[in-house]
Structure 1
């Protein structure tokens, strides 16, 4: 019996080590990301928002989320400055990217530390995903083949994600991103994915359109 227990412990340790290596290597080599997305926000077990749009990401910390429904808005970062452009309200809120805390995806894009230094990482198969995430599992497993659960080793922010799920296709494309925090659940499914293709830094440069109110102070003090 002790031998079997020892083997199970060793096997579990090896599986965890492999999972850490696999997903850490994936994010180390991921430099740019371009996709269409569908997003679902769940609070208290109920879906409170469903959105679709497009996204472009570039390390470190550059992103452009273009929400098309139900409300048109853009979330943009040039790596230093963050802009929230509410198109319907004709209003832009600007702040330094350092003040945008608690975002699991921003954390993964920061490249400040290795993933296995910040997270406990476990590989999950499709059966485990369907069992542990009944509200999302069936849809996730249609687009992704390998899943990784990341739980932070330390919680430092009230709105920090307490659990992250990454779903990769057999072609090593990021297809599922899920973050759970004290306020609810955020689930993204990506399609038309393009990874590590050239994206100009100019794409992430934001200029406030004429007639649009600008709130906040930018990093240059303008």
Structure 2
């Protein structure tokens, strides 16, 4: 079931990458300005996603579809629906990765998993002094990446060597986040496409908590 585990790692990296780019300096232009406009007005979100994971050798791309949600600060939910079910949930303190086929859930500390990784871009973090911008500039280098496939792109490069990825590209159409491309340290590329995006929907707190069903093995913290 290594195939499944690779998908969950890719999805966790992207979802963990989404949490810290939420507030940003309006002085930047283009895609960075769109990023600011999007996240400045988005406290929660629900969207359908399609994910494609391509290994360094380019063979046998892995594809999946599902639903993602987040609620600031610190809460997210990624539900893979096809080709099989898998669930990632974060409540700001812990992250659960649940594989129904294996009847197994892995639990991680939220802060340890977050770091400079991709959920920091979406769910929100601060520098300890109440400044999201300070945390962002400490953890990432941002630059405009031009236009491609009808989208305006932003590149985020982690400053930490322990982030687990080389760079993240975010593609905007208008002020909507439509695509993300994550390049990890092993040459693997994970691409996400978002559709049916709903900003600021009412989301129940129960969506961001997880209780293991009876008989499920619990691994980790």
Give TM-score scaled by structure 1 length.
Answer: 0.74
C-alpha spacing 1:29/1:111, structure 2 compared with 1 (3 Å):
farther
| Higher gyration radius (CA) | 1
**Structure 1 residue 75 corresponds to structure 2 residue 96:** no
1:186 aligns with 2:190: yes
What's the counterpart of residue 133 of structure 1? Answer: none
The 3-state SS of whatever aligns with 1:162 is strand
Indicate yes or no: 2:152 matched with 1:146. Answer: yes
- Is the deviation greater in 101-110 or in 196-205? 101-110
1:155 pairs with one of 154, 157, 160: 160
Query: For the structure 1 residues 27 and 117, does the alpha-carbon distance in structure 2 shift closer, same or farther, using more than 3 Å as the test?
Result: farther
Q: Distance in 1 between matches of 2:116 and 2:162?
A: 10
RMSD of aligned residue pairs (Cα, Å): 2.2
| Structure 2 counterpart of 1:44 | 56
Paired positions, count: 184
- State the 4+ residue runs in structure 1 displaced beyond 6 angstroms: none
Structure 1 pair 103–188 and aligned structure 2 pair: CA distance change class (3 A): farther
Deviation at 1:84, TM superposition (A): 0.7
What is the DSSP-based 3-state SS (H/G/I as helix, E as strand, rest coil) of the residue aligned with 2:212? coil
- Give the structure with the higher percent helix: 1
Deviation of the 1:103 alpha carbon:
6.8
Q: Which structure's relative contact order is higher, taking Cα pairs within 8 Å and 6+ residues apart? A: 2
In the alignment, the residues of structure 1 paired with residue 112 and residue 62 of structure 2 have an alpha-carbon distance, to the nearest angstrom, of 25
- Give the whole-Å Cα distance in 2 for the aligned partners of 1:157 and 1:98: 14
**Per-residue displacement from partner, 1:102-132 (whole Å, max 9, x unpaired)?**
6743111233232455433333343xx3xxx
**1:110 maps to 2:115:** no
* 1:119 aligns to 2:108 (yes or no): no
Partner of 1:44, secondary structure, is coil
C-alpha contact (below 8 Å) 1:173/1:195 kept by paired residues: no
**Residue of structure 1 equivalent to 2:217:** 213
Q: If the length of structure 2 is used for normalisation, what is the TM-score?
A: 0.74
CA shift, 1:204, in A, is 0.8
Q: Deviations over 1:6-26 (max 9, x none)?
A: xxxxxxxxxx83144442343
Tell me, which stretches of 5 or more residues in structure 2 are unaligned? 1-26, 127-131
